[in-house]
């Protein structure tokens, strides 16, 4: 599934990530067992970096704004603007 900048689902190496934008959880489907993600702000500062086995990232504690989520799913990397 491929979505343009005004859509709300992104393809991440055969996985789906949604919704975008969000003020709560971001959900992932079809990611492999464990994946690494990094969330950065517009200045490039790392806000959060984790290895996860869950299919969600809770963004509810983040200040409203634009963030970039970098996902490494078994060697497939994708950067998504949130």
Q: What is the DSSP string of 15-29?
A: EEEE-SS-SSEEEEE
| Three-state helix/strand/coil letters over 30-48 | CCCCCEEEEEECCCCCEEE
The Cα 21–Cα 7 span in angstroms is 9
pTM of the model: 0.71
Per-chain mean pLDDT for the chain: 74
**On the CB side of 2, how many CA atoms lie within 13 Å of its CA?**
0
Segments making up each domain of the chain, as ranges: 10-81
Q: Which residues contact 53 (CB under 8 A, 6 or more apart)?
A: 33, 34
Pick 67 or 45 by higher pLDDT: 45
CATH class entry, domain 10-81: mainly beta
């Amino acid at each position: 599934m491929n979505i343009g900048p005004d859509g709300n689902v992104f393809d991440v190496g055969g996985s789906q990530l949604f919704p975008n934008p969000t003020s709560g959880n971001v959900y992932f489907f079809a990611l492999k067992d464990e994946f690494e993600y990094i969330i950065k702000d517009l200045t490039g500062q790392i806000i959060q970096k984790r290895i996860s086995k869950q299919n969600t990232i809770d963004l509810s504690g983040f200040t409203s704004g634009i963030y970039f989520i970098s996902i490494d799913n078994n060697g497939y990397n994708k950067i998504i603007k949130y």
